Amino acid sequence: MMRFSQSIALITGAGTGIGKATALRLANEGARVILTGRTRSKLENAAHEINSVKKNPVAEIFPADVTVEQDVKELADYIRQQFGDLHIVINNAGGSRHSRVLETTEEDWDAVQNANLKSVFLVSKYLGKLMTECAAKEENHPAGRAIVNVASLSGHQAGAHIPHYSSAKAGVINFTKSLALELAPHHIRVNSVSPGFVETPLTEAGLQNEKFQKAIERNTALSRVGRAEEIANVIAFAASNEASYMTGSDLLVDGGWLIK
């Protein structure tokens, strides 16, 4: 199945984890993918993995910090100049720290908010503008264009000792709805995907704690941790024309945590 033939897709936080798995999935279904993130070596490794099985390279990298407005402006200019079009944006960049509310520093609060919410705002603003420009040039109904924001189970149910992260991800879910309403006249769909506990490099240390892993298994209906590829499957669906009548929605992919 090649749902993304002729599509150009940008994935933030694409060097590892869910971002990398999503880039692989989109590329394997025909998309040209632009991988962005702060660490060049991770992006290069991910792009090499994608391109190594292709006759023609389909993955390019653009190192950038998507919490910095100037970096995002330069990213948008690069895509405009090199590709002249953009069909899909996956806002996946993020990160977390652990602290109680009464012990959280202003620096930690701002850093987590910037990584998880400000990045989505900046990328959506500048790349969303590029997408609307491209859509306006098409005579008939524009080709399917979509933005998918990676939120979290924690945006639905606040997690212990992650007040900044939970607040930011709840913000992502509601920002998604606002953006979906604004971009609907341009035929650009905007949805979010909220993963539960997923095995990624960011969660690796916590999952090595047997007590923590057992608690996840005990409190998840499917009795296991998720895989990055499983989240990528849902992101790909939301980005595809199979979800053509869905916008402003959040897809919860938590293994049944909230129903347990």
Question: Residue 29 is part of a domain; what is its CATH number?
Answer: 3.40.50.720
- Give me the number of domains the chain comprises: 1
In a domain? residue 215: yes
Q: Residue 26's Cα: distance from chain center in Å?
A: 13
Active site residue 245: no
Task: Tell me which residues of the chain have a pLDDT lower than 70.
Answer: 139-143
Q: What is the pLDDT of residue 179?
A: 98
Q: What residues have CB less than 8 Å from 98, skipping those under 6 apart?
A: 161, 162
Backbone angles phi, psi at 150, to 5 degrees: -85, 110
DSSP state of 205: H
In a domain? residue 259: no
In a domain? residue 131: yes
Asked if residues 202 and 159 have their Cβ atoms less than 8 Å apart, the reply is no
Domain residues for the domain of 165 are 8-253
Asked if residues 47 and 61 have their Cβ atoms less than 8 Å apart, the reply is yes
Choosing from 78, 126, 165, 245, which is the catalytic residue? 165
